[in-house]
Every structure is written in structure tokens, then in C-alpha cells.
Amino acid sequence: MLVKQISVFLENKEGRVAQVTRILSDSAINIRALSIADTTEFGILRLIVDKPELAENALKKEGFTVSITEVIAISIADEPGGLAKALQVLHEDRISVEYIYAFISKTSHKANVILRVEDCGRATESLEAAGFLVLTAREVYDQ
């Protein structure tokens, strides 16, 4: 099962991210990783949480525009060159990466990298063939 990422549309105005995190906290949802893409007018908050469906419903109920995107997560050694090798593999297989963000796993002490690619299946095959550990959704949510 692929990792489900939650994206939330935000206007660039005060207190919007705080509002999102408050809603998640009220539903006892834990955030594993997040990143924000922002322009001068708006931002897109991307989240990996332990209970994505619950988070989606809670945010929609409060009026946010939410979408779910499938992403892949890989676990790599937290050392120089760890990410470079993975990206080289994708590049050689002509798989383009839309965006990327990372967090450190508190259990494995390895770096977990979230990759947004056009075709998750092909990227998974390519990375696994090169010996990378692609995490299951459960592994990511329950870190």
C-alpha cells in the first residue's frame, strides 16, 4: 500500500497553519512529516500523518480544501551521498521527481525521504531493483 499524503490549500495569511495543526491535534492525529510550498499568494501544506483518512475528514469538515496524493517513502542511510544515490537511480530510469522532503526516523535512525513522482509503481520498482528500501504505508505512519 502506497503512502497517502494530505495536501491542504492555504491562503498566505496569518494563523492558517496553526489552525490546521489545531484541528489535527483535536482529533489526536500525529504529524510524521510536513512541507510547505508557498508563492506570494497561496501555499500548499503537505502532510504525512498517522491516520490520513481521519485527518482528511477532520480538515474538510472545517472547510479546508484537501486532496490526497500517493507518494513513496524510502529509507536511506543518514550519511553523505545517501540521497544522491537514490536520485541518480531515478534519473537514469527517466523518472522525474515533482518534489521531495525528508525526516529522520526515531526508530531506525535512518533518513526517510518522501518522493512525489508521476508513476509510483515504476519508481518503486526502479528503487527496489537498485537495492533501496521502499517503506510501506504502515511503516511510515507508525514510525
Partner 1 sequence: MTIWNPKYECMGNDEKHSLQGDRLRETVAHVYGNVPFYKKKMDDAGILPGDIKGMDNLRDLPFTYKDDLRDNYPYGLFAVPMDEVVRIHASSGTTGKRTVVGYTRGDIDIWAEVTARTISACGATRSDILQNAYGYGLFTGGLGIHYGAEKIGMAVIPISGGNTKRQLELMLDFGSTIISCTPSYALYLAEVIEESGIDRSRIKLKAGIFGAEPWSENMRRDIERRLGVLALDIYGLSEIIGPGVSQECPEKCGLHINDDHFVPEIINPDTEEVLDYGEKGEIVFTTITKKALPLLRYRTRDISKLANEVCACGRTSVRMEKVTGRTDDMLIIRGVNVFPTQIESVLLELGETAPHYQLIVSKAGSMDALEVQVEMTEALFSDEVKRIEDLERKLRFNIESALAISAKVTLVEPKTLARSEGKAQRVIDNRNI
Q: Does 5 bind partner 1 (CB under 8 A)?
A: yes
Is 131 in contact with 75 (CB distance < 8 Å)?
no
Q: Does 84 bind partner 1 (CB under 8 A)?
A: no
Residue whose C-alpha cell is 483535536: 26
Q: Does 79 bind partner 1 (CB under 8 A)?
A: no
Nearer to partner 1, 15 or 80 (CB): 15
Interface with partner 1 (CB under 8 A), residue total 21
Distance CA 20, CA 75 (A): 27
Q: What are phi and psi of 56, to 5 degrees?
A: -60, -50
Question: H/E element holding 121?
Answer: helix 120-129
Q: What are phi and psi of 107, to 5 degrees?
A: -85, -50
Q: Does 9 bind partner 1 (CB under 8 A)?
A: yes
Distance CA 24, CA 124 (A): 30
Q: Does 42 bind partner 1 (CB under 8 A)?
A: yes
Stretch that binds partner 1, among 2-10, 25-33, 101-109, 135-143 (CB under 8 A): 2-10
Cβ 109 to partner 1, closest distance in Å? 29
Nearer to partner 1, 47 or 127 (CB): 47
